[in-house]
Amino acid sequence: MPKPLHSGFLSNSNINVNIVNAKRVSLLDMQQAYSFMLLQEVLIHKEITMNNSIKLSGRLENVASLIPKGAEFADIGSDHGYLPCYVCLHDESAQAVAGEVNEGPFLSAQETVKRYGLAKRIDVRLGNGLEILKDGEVNLVVLAGMGGALISTILDEGKDRLKSIKRIIAQPNVGERRVRQWFYTHGYTITNEAMIKENGHIYEIIAGDKNPTTQEMTEKQLLFGPRLLKQKPELFYQKWENEYAKRQRIIDQMKKAALPNDNKIEAFKKELTWIEEVLRDDSH
Ligand code: SAM
């Protein structure tokens, strides 16, 4: 009599193992192996559904909160792929493309997607910026955790892939002004801005929605953010007090140079005045 495969799992099965014919035995083994595979799949699925949450950083959680339900979105520079997995686990109707230019993070994103059983809803692709996108397949793009200059370059180089993109969510680590400038020169109105502090760094999250009548932004709005300037959350004061001190130090250093760059010094001084105005401009 053949031994039941993995009897611990199959002890309640009704499979008749009382077979002597070798051909039938192997068939039975196959049946049992198949039952075991199904059982494993059920257990794996249970594990995932019991444990189907990813703990995102506050920064990425904030980005995720700006992705509407049912979005078909691309996460460019996805790295580990946590953001698209998190969104798809919380919203059954969401679908995503995770883009990565580097092979290590690309494989890591593939692994995360597989681990959470999301391969049917998240396509992980290797390639530069927006070139991995097919025309019209997504309506929202996320670019998070990069510098503002890289974000603007990726958007610039992939302009022809943006026809269907209604919203862009950018989270530049630095160089927010470049991103805002790109938004308004390419017809995206800033509809949401947030600040979050993590590991001692204050991050800005900027969402722009396509709008053919986008208004030009003033220099001050580009620097501080049009919505942040109105809302002035607590972190706004922290950030701009630090930036004020930073600019003062830079000016002092520049003045000590053998050939001081007067234009640059003037530009920084102008920003110092703006920061003073903005920080003084209410009863905080
Ligand atoms: N988006 C994730 C986050 O916010 O935590 C990961 C940020 S990680 C610091 C930046 C990622 O962008 C890296 O994994 C890098 O390989 C990827 N990257 C850089 N340039 C890229 C490009 N041109 N196209 C696609 N991915 C890029």
pLDDT tens sequence across 196-228: 999 999 999 999 999 989 889 999 999 999 999
169 lines ligand 1 (CB under 6 A): no
Residue 197 lies inside a defined structural domain of this protein: yes
> Are residues 45 and 62 both part of a single domain?
no
CATH code of the domain containing 152: 3.40.50.150
Residue 229 lies inside a defined structural domain of this protein: no
Per-residue pLDDT at 87 exceeds 90: yes
145 lines ligand 1 (CB under 6 A): yes
Which percentage of the chain shows pLDDT scores above 90?
78
> Are residues 154 and 113 both part of a single domain?
yes
> Are residues 163 and 46 both part of a single domain?
no
154 lines ligand 1 (CB under 6 A): yes
Per-residue pLDDT at 47 exceeds 60: no
Pocket test for ligand 1, best of 62, 78, 87, 150 (most atoms within 8 A of CB): 78
> Are residues 200 and 180 both part of a single domain?
yes
Q: Please give the pLDDT value at position 281.
A: 83
Residue 154 lies inside a defined structural domain of this protein: yes
Average pLDDT over residues 94-102: 98
Q: Please give the pLDDT value at position 81.
A: 98
> Are residues 212 and 84 both part of a single domain?
yes
> Are residues 138 and 189 both part of a single domain?
yes
**What is the domain range of residue 16?**
7-50
Q: What is the 3-state secondary structure (H, E, C) of the chain?
A: CCCCCCHHHHCCCCCCCCCCCHHHHHHHHHHHHHHHHHHHHHHHHHHHHHCCCCCCCHHHHHHHCCCCCCCEEEEECCCCCHHHHHHHHHCCCCEEEEEECCHHHHHHHHHHHHHCCCCCCEEEEECCHHHHCCCCCCCEEEEEEECHHHHHHHHHHCHHHCCCCCEEEEEECCCHHHHHHHHHHCCEEEEEEEEEEECCEEEEEEEEEECCCCCCCCHHHHHHCHHHHHHCCHHHHHHHHHHHHHHHHHHHHHHCCCCCCHHHHHHHHHHHHHHHHHHHCCCC
Residue 156 lies inside a defined structural domain of this protein: yes
Average pLDDT over residues 92-121: 98
Using CA positions, which residue lies closest to atom 9 of ligand 1?
145
**Rounded to the nearest whole angstrom, what is the distance from the C-alpha of residue 68 to the centroid of ligand 1?**
22
pLDDT tens sequence across 144-189: 999 999 999 999 999 999 999 999 999 999 999 999 999 999 999 9
81 lines ligand 1 (CB under 6 A): no
Residue 256 lies inside a defined structural domain of this protein: yes
Residue 114 lies inside a defined structural domain of this protein: yes
123 lines ligand 1 (CB under 6 A): no
Give the confidence band of 51 by pLDDT, cuts at 50, 70, 90: low
> Are residues 97 and 41 both part of a single domain?
no
196 lines ligand 1 (CB under 6 A): no
Residue 231 lies inside a defined structural domain of this protein: no
> Are residues 42 and 75 both part of a single domain?
no
> Are residues 85 and 201 both part of a single domain?
yes
Using CA positions, which residue lies closest to atom 8 of ligand 1?
145
Q: Please give the pLDDT value at position 178.
A: 98
Global pTM reads 0.82
Overall domain count for the chain: 3
> Are residues 212 and 73 both part of a single domain?
yes
Residue 230 lies inside a defined structural domain of this protein: no
Using CA positions, which residue lies closest to atom 12 of ligand 1?
77
Per-residue pLDDT at 2 exceeds 50: no
Per-residue pLDDT at 19 exceeds 50: no
Per-residue pLDDT at 40 exceeds 60: no
> Are residues 136 and 63 both part of a single domain?
yes
> Are residues 142 and 163 both part of a single domain?
yes
Which percentage of the chain shows pLDDT scores above 70?
81
